[in-house]
A and B are shown apart, each in its own frame.
Chain A
Amino acid sequence: MRLAQGGDASAYRRLLNEITPAIKSFLRTRFFHHDHVEDILQEILLAIHAARHTYRPEQPFQHWMYGIARHKMIDYFRRQMRKNTNEVNDEELVTFLEDPANNPEDALVREDIDKALQKLPRKQRAVVLLTKVEGYSMAEVAAKMGMSEAAVKVTAHRGYQKLKEWLIVYGYR
C-alpha cells in the first residue's frame, strides 16, 4: 500500500488482487446471500481506493483494511434493512404461507415449506408463523414475544430470507 500511495500501479494491482479473496471470505461468513458478496466487495475496494491516502505504514494494514470492510458492510446492511421494511419481497411465498388451504394440490409444496420452517431457529420460526400464518401485526408479535418492534422486523426479515434459501435448496426458484 505504501508503494501504491506513491503511484506504483503494479504494486497496487497486486495488493488488490491479494486482498480480494481475504475480503470475500470475511464477507461470506457474514452473508447468507452470496450474490451480495460481490456487490459489497466492490464497494469495499472502491472505498479502499478512495481512502488510500489515510493509510499510515506504522499501522497494521489489516486493521485499516478490515476497518473499511466492516464499515461498508454495516452500511450495506443498513441500506438493505431500509429497503426491506417489514414485508418479504416474494409475494408468492407470502400468499402461500397466508393461505395454504387454497391450493390442495400443493400439499407437497406445503410439506417442503413446513420442512424449511423447521430448519429456522426457534425465534425466527415463531416470528414467521405469527406474522405470516397467524396474521399478527409486528407490534402484536413484539408484545407477545417480549421483543421490540424493530427486533421483530429484523428477525422476520432474516427468517424470510432463510426460508427462501431453504426452498431454493429444495428445488424451488
Chain B
Amino acid sequence: MDTDKLILSLTKDLKPVRRVPAPLAGAVLLSVVAAGLVFFALLGLGGPRADWLEMSRHMPFMADSVIMFAAGALAAFAACRLAVPDTRVRGTVVGALFLATSAWVYLCGRAFLGVTAGGMQAALLSFADSAECILGLAVLIAAPLILAFFVMTRAAPVWRGWAGYAAVLSVSSFGALGMRFLCQNENTPHLLLGHFLPVILFFVSGIFLGKTILRRGL
C-alpha cells in the first residue's frame, strides 16, 4: 500500500482517544490497586498475623514495611514511565529503579549479615516453612501482576525488559509487605530465604517476562 493512502486511511473516521495517566498519577493508582489486591488476597489466606497490631509498634518492623512500600511505589512510577515510548530510559526511571532495587539489596544484605551458619542450616533444613511463604508471596502478587501486565500491554512499552522488571519489582514489593503482615516467623534466616531472596528472584525474572509478554504491546 502507498504511504499516502495509508495516511488517508488512518485519518479517516478518526475517533478521540483517552490519554494514559501521567506517570505519577499512574504510579499512585498502580500502588493503591496493587496494595488493595494484596490486602484482599491476604484476607483470603486467613487474614493478618495475630500480633500484627503489636508488631506495627515495633520500629524495625515498621521501618522494613516503609522500605518495602517505598520500593513498590518507586518501581510503580518507573513502570508507568516505561509503559510509554521514549528514545531512551530516562534518568528519573533509572534513579527510581536503582533506589527500589537498592532497598531490596539492603534488606537482603542486612538479613544475610545477621544470620549465623547454624541459623542458616536450620532454616535450610526446615525449608518447607520458607517454601510456604514463597508460595504465599506468589499468591499475593498473582492478581496485581496480571493486572499490571495487562495494563502495560494496552500502553506501548518499547523498553520491554526494563518495563517488566519495574512492574514485577513494584508488585513483589507490595506482595512482600503483605507477607510481613501474614507470616509470624521473624527468624532472620527464614526472612532471608522465604521473603527477601524470592522477591529478588521474582523481579529479576521480570526482565524475561517483560521481553516475552509485553511484545504484544506495540
A interface vs B, CB < 8 Å?
Answer: 4-10, 12-13, 16-17, 20, 38, 41-42, 45-47, 49-56, 58-59, 63-68, 70-72
Contact = CB atoms under 8 A, between A and B. Distances in A.
A24 to B, nearest CB: 9
A107 B20 CA distance: 64
A95 B130 CA distance: 63
B10 A54 contact: no
30 contacts: A4-B14, A5-B16, A8-B14, A9-B12, A9-B13, A12-B11, A16-B7, A20-B7, A38-B3, A41-B3, A42-B1, A45-B3, A45-B6, A45-B7, A47-B156, A47-B218, A49-B10, A51-B85, A51-B155, A51-B218, A54-B19, A54-B83, A54-B85, A56-B19, A63-B86, A65-B85, A67-B85, A68-B156, A71-B85, A71-B218
Interface of B: 1, 3, 6-8, 10-20, 22, 83-87, 155-156, 158, 218
Contacts of A56: 19-20, 22, 84
Contact of B87 (A8, A38, A58, A63): A63
A5 B158 contact: no
A20 B181 CA distance: 55
Nearest to B17: A53
Nearest to B20: A54
A59 B23 CA distance: 11
